[in-house]
Amino acid sequence: MIAGASEGTGACFARQLAAMGINIVLVSRRAPALEALGDQLAQHHGIEYRVVTADLREEGAAGQIIAATADLDVGLYVSNAGSDGAGNSFLDNPVERSLNLLSMNAATVVRAVHGFGERFKTRGRGGFVIMSSGAGLGGQPWLVMYSATKAFELNFAESLWAELSGQDIDIIGVAAPMMDTPTLRRETEGTGFDLSNAYDPDDVVHLGLAALGREPLVIVPDGPDEWKIPQIEADRKTRLLALAEWAKGYTVGARGEA
């Protein structure tokens, strides 16, 4: 299941998974775009697909997509929605705009991962890919809510990776770089913004899928401190593993286990 699949990175996930022979559920607000993509993939790869129309900003969106696949053996959930254009002032925009991002990148993610996670526990295996952003690695002006909610996604994925260790349920957070997507092209059209250094989303999707089951987090080098990224990634994992060990002792003590 791919949430936010109508174009760009979500469509790349759909193409790569379909090429592996995996049946897919495509989710977004734009049913015609999903149907066109699904038809194309069915013809090229012989897979089956289902379209679920949902607005991931709405409170009931996660429940809607979980219910819409109750008859399917879903084994992978990709959370890909949640982009926001740069240059948006926090105070100069209605607070509802910020709350929509908070709902989409936090509440919907939590509800969807919990709902599908329960199903994965029952089936004995499963996986999650949480598409976050390098903007979540620290504060970023003019992307206040985007940066904040993407930081939530990164910490959520890392923490759950450690908590699910040994349960055959994998999760990975992807701190994505600037990517050459239709959304970015629309937002920068006519501005002269340089896209020459933007990543191909297919490459980022490949990195995320390849690391699923092996790493808690993939940080794609990007931005002014990109040379530090491998060390940042290693340091975060080292800290996470150390905290996981500490938590084992804490939880055993709290439960009174021997």
| Cα separation, 248 vs 258, whole angstroms | 12
What does 77-137 look like in DSSP terms, one character per residue? Answer: EEE------S---STTS-HHHHHHHHIIIIIHHHHHHHHHHHHHHHHT-EEEEEEEEGGGG
Identity of residue 223? G
| pLDDT > 70 fraction of the chain, expressed in percent and rounded | 96
Question: Which two three-digit tokens encode residue 85?
Answer: 């254009």
Question: Which two three-digit tokens encode residue 245?
Answer: 């060990």
Tell me the sheet residues that pair with 173: 130, 217
Mean pLDDT of the 30-40 span? 97
Q: Residue 17: in which H helix or E strand, if any?
A: helix 8-19
Task: List, for residues 188-240, the tens digit of each pLDDT value.
Answer: 788 888 888 899 999 999 999 999 999 999 999 887 888 899 999 999 999 99
What does DSSP say about strands 2-3 and 24-28: parallel, antiparallel, or unpaired?
parallel
Mean pLDDT of the 50-66 span? 96
Q: Is the pLDDT of residue 185 over 80?
A: yes
pTM of the model: 0.92
The b-or-e profile of 104-129 (16+ CB within 10 A means b, else e) is: bbbbbbebbbebbbebbeeeeebbbb
